[in-house]
Amino acid sequence: MADNEGKDQVIDDAIGERDIKRLEFRGGVFAATIPLVFFIIWAIVLSVTGLVTEQALVLGMVIGIGLGLFFCKSKWSDYAQSLISGMAQPVGIVAIIAWFWAGMFANMLSAGGLVDGLIWFGFQSGLEGGAFVGITFLLAGLFSTAVGTGYGTVATFGVLMYPAGVILGADPVILLAAILSGAVFGDNLAPVSDTTIVSATTQNADVPGVVRSRFKYSLTAAIPALVLFIIFGGGGETGSQQVVNQLQNEVSPDGLFMLIPFALVLYLALSGQHLLTSLSWGILASAVFILLTGLSWKEVLYIHTNAQGDAVIEGALIEGISGYFNMAILILFILAAAYLLEVGGTMDVIKQFFLRIINNVVRRAEFAIFGIVAFLNVFITINTAAEIAAAPFVRKLGEEMNIHAYRRANFLDTVTSSLGYIFPWSGGVLLAWATVQGAAEKYDFLPVVGPTEVFPFVFQGWLLLIVMFIAAWTGWGLRFTGKNGEEVKPADYRK
């Protein structure tokens, strides 16, 4: 037994040495950034030209990694092994598995009619103008928190709530900003959101703990955002009652039963259950309610052959998984490219640069984290991809100052979730623009709001940025890491 343990230790040591073997690059340590720099430039070009897709981003990352190979002075086999080691990091695998479960749960809720139920509730409230914009923000925030997808919220509410709101006298620009703000709220707070999962796992934190610690920031921004939407959301022209009636006939309250699986997942996740355990129970409960409401099992899973005789699999479960295939591939490649900064020595140089600026001052460290995350979000238009790229820097700087993982994850996620729905070239805003264009083809009375018009009015996003800036400046919510990994208040912390 002792001999086997000794052999295992030798193997582990050998693997460890191979994984962290230093690479040398032509042009110095910053040549290791070539894959990521190419990816950022690629993302900017795609955004400006309106051609950004997840598949295109994956291709850009692959090309960047290929270019980096030609700048590597070390053995190409070592470069390849470093890429594999980077992809094999647990943080990426955990995030991908969590995405698949979260995607299945989100699609189960949608298949059960939760969207229709929420929209029915909005109609039944009888609100118009600014009040309708306010309820749209609340419903969008609730939905995005339930399903964990800001993009899905934008696409869904842009098709249904945007036409309804315009008809009921809401200002189109503020209404679309309210939908985007609801997406920000859920993307930032939902336990099943990809950004929440990535921010937690990349900082070695548990998702439930991160969500609990994030409530105060989210609500501090959401309350004034709601007031602003109500104040500035009116002023539009009321539309045809015939169109209103048509939309009302398309929705029903039946889907509100799906709030029960949603509440179950929130309760389990926040009570400390593993995320996959919570989501599995939510998926099972969703399936039960779908069957109880008389919907076909085909909404959940349907395997059949098409007219050409080819096997086809459809339903909420497979759609939930397949929706994250591209992002799963992208995260693996970005993790590989980021790992090159570790083995190339770039991370150490950057870390030392910031540490000299920070000079052991926690406030400066948090401002540096804020700035790095914001800077990368300017260039990387898919918020999860930007978060993944920023995560290693946030972790390194935060750990040097012993800032707790929850606090690091909150800075990483709030800044990313906000800017992902603010910048005119960001994925969330471009999706909203495209969604409104599609809705305008169906309803000729709808105005098409451009990305630059909505930019200043995404109140939840802007207020979240302000809240986190103030948190960094004042130390509000700051916690250090205790001896056993627990949160320690500054007054009780001793190095």
Rounded CA-CA distance 104/437 in Å is 28
Instruction: List the alpha helices (DSSP H) in 190-273.
Output: 194-202, 207-232, 241-249, 259-270
Higher-confidence residue of 284 and 316: namely 284
Q: Give whichever of 6-10, 253-257, 439-443 has the largest mean pLDDT.
A: 253-257
**CA-to-CA dists, residue 85 to 18, 241, 384, 399, 480, angstroms:** 9, 61, 21, 22, 30
Q: What is the pTM of this model?
A: 0.71
Compute the mean pLDDT over every residue in the chain, rounded to the nearest whole number.
82
Rounded CA-CA distance 454/44 in Å is 20
For residue 262, pLDDT beyond 90: no
**What pLDDT is stored for residue 35 in this prediction?**
92
For residue 171, pLDDT beyond 50: yes
**What pLDDT is stored for residue 238 in this prediction?**
53
For residue 101, pLDDT beyond 80: yes
Crossing angle (nearest 10°) for helices 259-270 and 275-292: 160
Q: 381: pLDDT confidence band, cut at 50, 70 and 90? A: low
Calculate what percentage of the chain has a pLDDT beyond 70.
88
For residue 457, pLDDT beyond 90: yes
What value does the mean pLDDT take over residues 423-444? 77
**What pLDDT is stored for residue 440 in this prediction?**
81
Residues 6 or more apart whose CB falls under 8 angstroms from that of 72 comprise 23, 24, 25, 26, 78, 79
**What pLDDT is stored for residue 15 in this prediction?**
33
User: What digits encode the pLDDT tens for the residues 191-204?
Assistant: 878 888 889 988 98
C-alpha distance across the termini of the chain, in Å:
40
**CA-to-CA dists, residue 402 to 212, 278, 364, 407, angstroms:** 20, 30, 13, 10
| Residue 269, burial from CB neighbour count under 10 angstroms (0-12, 13-18, 19+) | buried
Q: Which of 223-227, 271-275, 283-287 has the lowest mean pLDDT?
A: 271-275
